[in-house]
Structure 1
Amino acid sequence: MQLISSAERNRLFEHFQRDAFHLELRDDYSVPGENGPFRSWLEGGDVDSSYLKPWIHLIQQTTARGMTVRRVRVVTEPVSPYIRWEYETTPLNEEAGEDIRWLPRHLLPADITFPFKAKDWWLYDDRLLAVGHFDADGRVLGSEIVDAPDHVAQCVALRDLLWTCAIPHAEYKP
């Protein structure tokens, strides 16, 4: 299996036509670029959003072209410190044009099945998936590109179901 880097995955935003959707299923992400700002926040500091600037710029460019960028974060309650920190930074994502919703695990439909062994994924235009892979310590290894129609269809259906169940950021209180 070949993996692409996060930067290569982000370049997919230049090519989709309508909608990008991200499903997040982890309660902690060990992303090296976030370690300093996260640790500072844990120690009582303000939210340092400087690490988010490239992402915010990408989302602003994308949504300015009329595309939608959506995300559902499936979380365990009570939320982990990392998810609490993500919650605190979410208004920056939304100001850039992302639409983010939260779904506590205990509210998941009982019969739900997550494809790809419950890995996170991006779905672009209901035709292309970028499935996230992580190492044992939770660090990002890269994304696997999947365009098999049956996998894509399963993720489209799951996205639609989860989107209707999830709570908009403004209404969610962890």
Structure 2
Amino acid sequence: MTAVSPEEFNACFDRFERNVFRLETLAQYLVDAEVERVEAFTRGEPRPERSVRTSAWLSRIATSTAAGKSWQRIHAVDWPLTEYLCYEIAGYVESQACGEEIRLCDLTDELRAHEDFWLFDAGTDNACALAMRYDPDGRYLGADLVNDVDRLAAYTKIRDTVWPTGRNLNEHVTIVPR
């Protein structure tokens, strides 16, 4: 594993050719740039507009899915949802509108013990992953590039096991306030 710079991290999303999968397992992700937006959401204020016009990330998803690439994300959650997860799920709606398939599943002990990751082009010669590192509060610490065949196989197995157990985001949007 090799720690990646922010530029190398972003390059993974430009290089993938077929599919990208994201496993999320935390109840919150502390992102300094989101603190005010999460607090406003908690007070019942509307989220600011995010679309392909206002977000480079959403534009990336829309452009690559239009080119035939697949984006999948599953967030393993405990119930009831935290305020942060309600905020995040509201944002997932925007990502889904751009072409990302998003599901929620129950957080099991096995998933709780597993690190979050991005898996790119699983099952191809170009496969790689980013193992995500967070502190106990969910603050991002960095990511490591994974090219090890055994780790990639383990990530692929997790994806193949957890994806069918997930429920489509649309089944949950009505339960998220705001």
TM-score tier (shorter):
0.7 to 0.9
Show the counterpart of 1:120. 116
Count of residues in correspondence between the two structures: 168
RMSD (CA atoms): 2.1
CA distance in 2, matches of 1:72, 1:39: 24
Structure 2 residue 61 is matched with structure 1 residue 53: no
Residues 17-96 of structure 1: matches in 2 within 5 Å?
A: 17-50=17-50, 53-96=55-98
Output the TM-score relative to the length of structure 2. Answer: 0.85
- Shift in alpha-carbon separation, 1:123–1:8, aligned structure 2, 3 A: same
Q: Secondary structure at the match of 2:55?
A: helix
1:6 Cα offset (Å):
4.5
2:76 and 2:111 in contact (8 A); partners too: no
CA distance in 2, matches of 1:62, 1:93: 12
Structure 2: give runs of 5+ residues left out of the alignment: none
Q: Work out the percentage of aligned pairs sharing the same amino acid.
A: 27
CA distance in 1, matches of 2:154, 2:41: 37
Deviations 1:97-145 (A, max 9, x none): 100000022xx4xxx7449x52110000012110111134421111101
Deviations 1:63-105 (A, max 9, x none): 1221001000000100111101112222101111100000022
CA distance in 2, matches of 1:64, 1:6: 25
Show the counterpart of 1:163. 163
Structure 1: give runs of 5+ residues left out of the alignment: none
CA distance in 2, matches of 1:18, 1:163: 17
- Structure showing the higher helix proportion among its residues: 1
CA distance in 2, matches of 1:147, 1:48: 37
CA distance in 2, matches of 1:156, 1:81: 30
Q: Secondary structure at the match of 1:101?
A: strand
2:20 and 2:71 in contact (8 A); partners too: yes
Output the TM-score relative to the length of structure 1. Answer: 0.87
1:72 and 1:166 in contact (8 A); partners too: yes
